[in-house]
Amino acid sequence: MFVATRAPSLKTVLLASGVVLTLAMGVRHGFGFWMQPISQANGWTRETYSLALALQNLLWGAFGPFAGMAADRFGTMRVVLVGAVSYMAGLVWMALVTQPTLFVIGSGVFIGLGLACTAFGAVSGIIGRVAPMEKRSWAFGISGAASSFGQFLMMPVEQQLISAVGWQQAFYLLAALVVLLMIPMSFHLREPAVEHSGPQQSVREAMSEAVGNRSFLFLVAGYFVCGFQLVFIGVHMPAYLKDKGIASPGVAVLALALIGLFNIFGSYYAGKLGGRFPKRYLLSSIYFTRAVVIGLFLLAPLTPYSVYVFAAAIGFIWLSTVPLTNGIIAGIFGVKHMSMLAGVVFFSHQVGSFIGVWLAGYLFAKLGSYDIVWGIAIGLSVMAGLINLPINERALERGELKAA
C-alpha cells in the first residue's frame, strides 16, 4: 500500500492531473489525422488502421481496471510514470513499424497501456480522495474539462506537425512531448493519507459488491454507448467529410477542435450541476440529446458551417458523462477503490470504442458508406438514455449487494 508523507492540495492535484489528461487525451484524439497518410504510405485499406485504433481502445479498457487497482494500492504517481513511458513507446512504434499485424498489436499494447495509466480511470481515485465530498463532482468536472482542453489544443498542433514535418516526425515530436511533460507532473500526484471508516474491503470484495449492484451495471451499459459514439466520430470524421466533398483538412481540424473547446464547458458544467441535481437524470439527458444532435446533422445539408454547428453541439455533451459517472461511482461505493471501479466501467466504454471504430472501418470497406454506423449511434443513444434513468445514487451500506 502506498505511503504518503504529505497530503497534496486539491489545486496541485487538479493542475498536475490536468496536464497529464491534456496530453493523454489530446494526443489520442488526433490519431484520425494519421489514417490516410499512414494507409497510403503502407498500401493499407482504412480497415487496417481502424483495427489498430480499435485495439488501442479495447486494451486501454482492458488494462484500465488493473491500472486503477495499482493506483489505489501503490499510488497514482507510479502508475502515471509507467503510462508515460508506454505512451512514448507506442508513438515511436506507430512511426516505425510497417508490417500490418505488428503495427496493430504493438501500437495497441503500448498506447492502450499508456492511456490506461494516464487517463481518467488512473487519476480519478486521487481526485476523489483529495477533493472534499461537496466538491467532488466539481473536481471531476475540472478534470474532464482538462482532457477536453487537450483535444482543443492538440488538434491543430498535430495537423500542423503532419503538414510541416511529415507524419513520422510528428509522432517522434509527440513522443518527446509526452515524456518531458508527463513525468514531471507525475511527482505532484503523491497520494494523501486517507482514513477509511467502516469495513475494510479487499479488492475482490469491492469488485463483487460492484458487479452485484444493478446501478453499477447500468453505468457499465451506458458507458458502452458513449465509447461507441465518441471514437467513431473522432476517428472517422475527417475521412467522412472528405468522402462527402469537404476536401479541406482545415474543416475537420476546426471541427475536432470545436468539439474539444465546447466540451471544456460541457464537462465543467456537468460536474457543477452534478453537485446540485440527480446525476442519473443529467446522464440520461446527455444521451437523448446526442441522438437528436446526430439526427439533425445527418438531415441537414452538409456544409462547413453545419459541420461546425454539429461539432459545437456534440462537443458540449462529448465527455460530460465522465464527471457524472465518476461522481455516481464515488457516491455509491466511496473512494477507497475508486480508480479500480472507474476502470471497470471504462472498460465497457472501450469495448464500445473498439466496436465503433472497427465497425465503421469494416462497413466502409464493404459498403463505401458510414450510414449504417450513424444509424446505430442514434439507436444506442436512445437506449443509453433509458437505461440511466433507474440508477439509484444512494450510498451503499456495506454488505448490501444490490441497490434497492
A 10 A CB-CB count for 199 gives 8
Cα distance between the two ends of the chain: 33
Confidence of residue 195 (pLDDT cuts 50, 70, 90): low
Distance CA 286, CA 290 (A): 6
For residues 275-294, give the mean pLDDT: 92
**Residue 20: partners with Cβ closer than 8 Å, 6 or more residues away:** 80, 118, 123, 182, 185, 186, 189
Residue type (1 letter), 359 = L
Lowest mean pLDDT across 38-42, 350-354, 373-377: 350-354
Task: Determine contact, residues 352/224, Cβ cutoff 8 Å.
Answer: yes
**Residue 65: partners with Cβ closer than 8 Å, 6 or more residues away:** 121, 340, 343, 344, 347
Q: Note the pLDDT tens digit of each residue in 63-109.
A: 988 888 888 888 889 999 999 999 999 999 999 999 999 999 999 99
**At 295, is the secondary structure helix, strand, or coil?**
helix
What is the predicted pLDDT for the residue at 90? 95
For residues 113-132, give the mean pLDDT: 85
As a whole number, the mean pLDDT across the chain is: 85
Task: Determine contact, residues 323/275, Cβ cutoff 8 Å.
Answer: no
What is the predicted pLDDT for the residue at 398? 56
Confidence of residue 111 (pLDDT cuts 50, 70, 90): very high
- In angstroms, the Cα distances linking 275 to 218, 278, 291, 390 are 20, 8, 25, 19
Confidence of residue 294 (pLDDT cuts 50, 70, 90): very high
Q: Note the pLDDT tens digit of each residue in 295-305.
A: 999 999 999 99
Task: Determine contact, residues 326/124, Cβ cutoff 8 Å.
Answer: yes
**Residue 392 burial (C-beta neighbours within 10 Å; 0-12, 13-18, 19+):** middle
DSSP code of 194? -
Residues above pLDDT 70, as percent of the chain: 94
- Cell readout for 164 is 510541416
- In angstroms, the Cα distances linking 199 to 109, 163, 326 are 37, 57, 22
Residues above pLDDT 90, as percent of the chain: 34
For residue 187, which of 107, 126, 271, 106 has the smallest C-alpha distance? Answer: 126
Which of residues 271 and 181 earns the better pLDDT score? 181
For residues 385-402, give the mean pLDDT: 76
For residues 20-43, give the mean pLDDT: 86
- Cell readout for 266 is 460541457
Distance CA 61, CA 220 (A): 12
- In angstroms, the Cα distances linking 165 to 149, 168, 272 are 24, 8, 41
Query: Which domains are seen in the chain, by residue range?
Result: 10-191+203-388 (1.20.1250.20)
